């Protein structure tokens, strides 16, 4: 491998797909000999507090001066980025989300050494939600255009970025990934018996329970499936729509069929409980949870929203239906859950696609190529075989 780089990574450190991807990418880059510096307001939850070779964490402190009505986090972040870049002689900053992180990186670049490069990864919300706000649109466009390279997690997100912001610059399609050493089918027969009888199927939904996830559709699909196939529903996660969903379940008399597990860290083990994952989202730039399920051999029944069709191959690794079409989703689920041979075929297709298309080695290498390109250096390591 060529000489390692010094890379600063900024992301949202709390729960969320972008933070997961950013943290896991940093850990993989560190394994490959790069010096990784996480610059965030808290330790990313996937990083933990244990010492890891080639990884440092730099906390962003926000000074709450009385002259500021609100603590100036963005300015503090930009200042910290510049400090770390100068002290550690970073080659580049890789920031996840255009606002505020790419804007802060631009400011940091002006304060730090002139050779510092900025790579921005778009994950979805900065385009699908924030870019619809006219007061933010120019800032997001500026942050994207001032980055030395821009990546996006799906072709659908690239298309939306170009359409909504009139962006003409190159955007690299770099899919999310899973670490195949962590995400694989687990032997959980002993645990499964605590949630369902042997003749019952388990449907699962994992999210932050925001309205965009359409969690009520999950309950409707489950109710329709259970009418034909004895089933259980497992919810993982928390969020604002949870009370609404619980009330819906009570009104439908399904309390004894539904389990709420809250937030879970061992996602691979939890997903391995399921026979199918339900993802009926209204918007989904990629759908990381569907990839995590796929890597554990669990097919997804989802919507045709956003980047989900780029991830889930209809009829091979799951089924897709129009947003809100719970009848069609339930029909697909019954078709899958009532045919053991079909379920086994889809399980193998899921494992193959996850390991070969969304392999951690491959996607990490694609990011490395981008880094070396913006630095005008030659990358010596060959494309990995997954």
Kindly tell me if the per-residue pLDDT of 321 is higher than 70.
Answer: yes
Q: What pLDDT score was predicted for residue 15?
A: 60
Mean pLDDT of 66-89: 88
Q: What pLDDT score was predicted for residue 49?
A: 65
Asked if residue 246 and residue 269 are part of one domain, the reply reads yes
Asked if residue 155 and residue 76 are part of one domain, the reply reads yes
Mean pLDDT of 38-59: 84
Model confidence over 269-278: pLDDT tens digits?
999 999 999 9
Q: What pLDDT score was predicted for residue 227?
A: 97
Between 40-44, 76-80, 222-226, the lowest mean confidence (pLDDT) is in 40-44
Query: What residue numbers bound the domain in which 318 lies?
Result: 189-357
Whether 16 is in a domain gets the answer yes
Kindly tell me if the per-residue pLDDT of 52 is higher than 90.
Answer: no
Asked if residue 306 and residue 264 are part of one domain, the reply reads yes
Q: What pLDDT score was predicted for residue 14?
A: 74
From the number of C-beta atoms within 10 Å of its C-beta (0-12, 13-18, 19+), residue 98 rates as: buried
Asked if residue 154 and residue 26 are part of one domain, the reply reads yes
24-28 own/partner pairs: CB under 8 Å, 24+ apart = 24/177, 24/179, 24/360, 25/94, 25/177, 25/363, 25/364, 25/367, 26/55, 27/52, 27/55, 28/179, 28/360, 28/364
CB 63 within 8 A of CB 76: yes
Asked if residue 319 and residue 207 are part of one domain, the reply reads yes
Kindly tell me if the per-residue pLDDT of 340 is higher than 90.
Answer: yes
**Residues 23/27/30/32 CA torsion (nearest 10 deg):** -120
Mean pLDDT of 194-219: 96
Whether 264 is in a domain gets the answer yes
Diameter of the chain measured on Cα atoms: 67
- Model confidence band, residue 266 (pLDDT cutoffs 50, 70, 90): confident
Whether 149 is in a domain gets the answer yes
Q: How far is CA 56 from CA 7, 26, 39, 107, 368, in A?
A: 10, 10, 9, 22, 19
- Collapse the DSSP code of 2 into the 3-class scheme (helix H, G, I; strand E, B; otherwise coil) and give the result: coil
Asked if residue 222 and residue 148 are part of one domain, the reply reads no
CATH code (residue 17): 3.40.50.2000
Asked if residue 257 and residue 209 are part of one domain, the reply reads yes
- Model confidence band, residue 1 (pLDDT cutoffs 50, 70, 90): very low
Given strand 172-173, what is the order of strands in its sheet? 55-59, 35-40, 6-10, 92-96, 117-122, 149-152, 172-173
User: Mean pLDDT score of the chain, rounded to an integer?
Assistant: 92
Model confidence over 268-318: pLDDT tens digits?
999 999 999 999 999 999 999 999 999 999 999 999 999 999 999 999 999
Kindly tell me if the per-residue pLDDT of 361 is higher than 90.
Answer: yes
Q: Find tokens 């075929």 and name the residue.
A: 345
Asked if residue 166 and residue 100 are part of one domain, the reply reads yes
| Residue 22 backbone phi and psi in degrees, to 5 | -60, -45
Asked if residue 34 and residue 166 are part of one domain, the reply reads yes
Q: Which of the two residues, 188 and 126, has the higher pLDDT score? A: 188
Q: Give the count of beta carbons closer than 10 Å to the beta carbon of residue 327.
A: 12
Asked if residue 269 and residue 148 are part of one domain, the reply reads no
Mean pLDDT of 246-274: 95
Kindly tell me if the per-residue pLDDT of 385 is higher than 90.
Answer: no
**Cα–Cα distance for residue pair 341/345, rounded to 1 Å:** 6
Whether 184 is in a domain gets the answer no
Asked if residue 238 and residue 167 are part of one domain, the reply reads no
What global pTM score does this model have?
0.92
Asked if residue 306 and residue 209 are part of one domain, the reply reads yes
Total structural domains within the chain: 2
Whether 128 is in a domain gets the answer yes
Helix (H) or strand (E) holding 355: helix 340-357
Helix (H) or strand (E) holding 330: helix 326-337
Model confidence over 227-252: pLDDT tens digits?
999 999 999 999 999 999 999 999 99
Helix (H) or strand (E) holding 150: strand 149-152
Whether 227 is in a domain gets the answer yes
Q: What pLDDT score was predicted for residue 131?
A: 54
């Amino acid at each position: 491998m060529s000489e390692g780089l010094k890379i600063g990574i900024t992301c949202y450190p709390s729960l969320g797909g972008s933070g997961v991807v950013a943290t896991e990418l940093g850990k993989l880059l560190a394994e490959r000999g790069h010096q990784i510096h996480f610059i965030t307001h808290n330790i990313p939850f996937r990083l933990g507090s244990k010492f890891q070779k080639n990884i440092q964490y730099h906390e962003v402190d926000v000074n709450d001066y009385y002259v500021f009505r609100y603590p100036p986090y963005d300015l503090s972040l930009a200042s910290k980025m510049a400090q770390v870049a100068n002290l550690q002689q970073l080659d580049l900053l890789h920031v996840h989300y255009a606002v505020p992180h790419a804007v802060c990186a631009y400011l940091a670049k002006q304060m730090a050494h002139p050779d510092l490069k900025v790579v921005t990864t778009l994950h979805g919300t900065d385009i699908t939600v924030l870019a619809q706000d006219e007061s933010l649109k120019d800032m997001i466009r500026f942050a994207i255009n001032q980055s030395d390279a821009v990546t996006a997690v799906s072709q659908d997100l690239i298309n939306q970025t170009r359409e909504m912001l009139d962006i003409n610059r190159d955007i690299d399609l770099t899919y999310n990934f899973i670490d195949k050493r962590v995400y694989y089918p687990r032997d959980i027969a002993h645990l499964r018996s605590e949630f369902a009888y042997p003749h019952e199927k388990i449907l699962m939904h994992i999210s932050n329970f925001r309205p965009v996830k359409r969690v009520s559709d999950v309950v409707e699909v489950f109710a329709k499936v259970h009418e034909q196939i004895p089933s259980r529903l497992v919810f993982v996660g928390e969020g604002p729509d949870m009370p609404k969903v619980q009330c819906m379940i009570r009104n439908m008399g399904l309390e004894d069929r539904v389990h709420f597990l809250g937030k879970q860290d061992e996602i691979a083990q939890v997903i391995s409980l399921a026979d199918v994952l339900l993802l009926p989202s209204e918007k989904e730039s990629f759908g990381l949870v569907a990839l995590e399920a796929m890597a554990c051999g669990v097919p997804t029944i989802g919507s045709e929203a956003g980047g989900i069709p780029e991830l889930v191959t209809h009829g091979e690794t799951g089924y897709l239906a129009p947003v809100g079409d719970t009848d069609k989703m339930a029909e697909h689920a019954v078709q899958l859950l009532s045919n053991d041979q079909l379920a086994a075929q889809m399980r193998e297709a899921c494992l193959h696609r996850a390991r070969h298309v969304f392999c951690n080695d491959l996607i990490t290498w694609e990011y490395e190529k981008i880094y070396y390109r913006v630095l005008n250096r030659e990358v010596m390591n060959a494309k990995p075989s997954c």
